[in-house]
């Protein structure tokens, strides 16, 4: 008991399940194919392909780890995976989103210098440099999202045993964090890409 449908019409639950499963299947299949192709062409792997591999891995991680628990909690209106995984899933989602966003920003940076400073860029645009940039991307993604690991907790939302994975801090704290997350996860990489692709 305590596990109730969030929607008034059950058909909406079925539609949500279908949409999630389609997106989940396409994401798993598409990103797995990209990873397999890039790994298979290891000898021909370019710097861009190295970044695309990282992008595919982060997207695959988001789909494989986060989508199904999110779907379950939305449809059943109940969190059933415990407090530890509540914190893990709440933290992991923005981490992999940030990794994807900053990988795209790094690709824009690399392409800009490859076009505008072709001969100079060839000196430092090596595979080692690409690995260093990817490591930096993940460090930024991991560190910048550390606050969320302390903001979410498994909590009871009614007297019938209903459980949810939700923030446990006052509204103004969560509002401030949402602004911070929007800037870090969206506006900063978007600004970098806009400036570099617009020049």
pLDDT digits (tens, 9 = 90+) for 122-177: 666 788 888 999 999 999 999 999 988 888 888 877 666 678 888 888 888 888 98
Residue 29 neighbours by CB distance under 10 Å? 11
Task: Inform me whether the pLDDT recorded for 50 exceeds 80.
Answer: yes
Residue 55 CA to its chain's centroid (Å): 10
The whole-model pTM stands at: 0.82
Angle among Cα 146, 151, 152 to the nearest 5 degrees reads 110
Distance CA 136, CA 142 (A): 10
Count helices and strands in the chain by DSSP H and E runs: 8, 2
**Domains located in the chain, CATH noted:** 10-198 (1.20.1070.10)
How confident is the model at residue 54, as a pLDDT?
A: 94
Distance CA 163, CA 156 (A): 4
């Amino acid at each position: 008991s305590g596990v109730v449908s969030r929607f008034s019409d059950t058909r909406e639950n079925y539609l949500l399940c279908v949409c999630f499963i389609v997106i989940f299947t396409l994401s798993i299949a598409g990103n797995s194919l990209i990873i397999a192709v890039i790994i298979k062409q290891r000898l021909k792997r370019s710097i861009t392909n190295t970044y695309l591999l990282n992008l595919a891995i982060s997207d695959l991680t988001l789909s494989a780890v986060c989508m199904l628990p999110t779907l379950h909690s939305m449809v059943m209106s109940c969190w059933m995976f415990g407090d530890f995984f509540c914190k893990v899933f709440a933290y992991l989602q923005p981490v992999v989103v940030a990794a994807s966003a900053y990988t795209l920003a790094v690709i824009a940076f690399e392409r800009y210098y490859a076009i505008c400073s072709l001969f100079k860029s060839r000196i430092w645009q090596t595979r080692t440099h690409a690995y260093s940039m990817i490591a930096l991307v993940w460090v930024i993604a991991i560190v910048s999202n550390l606050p969320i690991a302390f903001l979410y907790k498994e909590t009871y939302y009614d007297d019938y045993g209903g459980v949810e994975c939700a923030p446990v801090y006052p509204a103004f704290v969560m509002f401030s964090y949402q602004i911070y997350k929007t800037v870090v996860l969206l506006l900063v990489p978007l600004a970098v890409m806009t400036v570099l692709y617009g020049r």
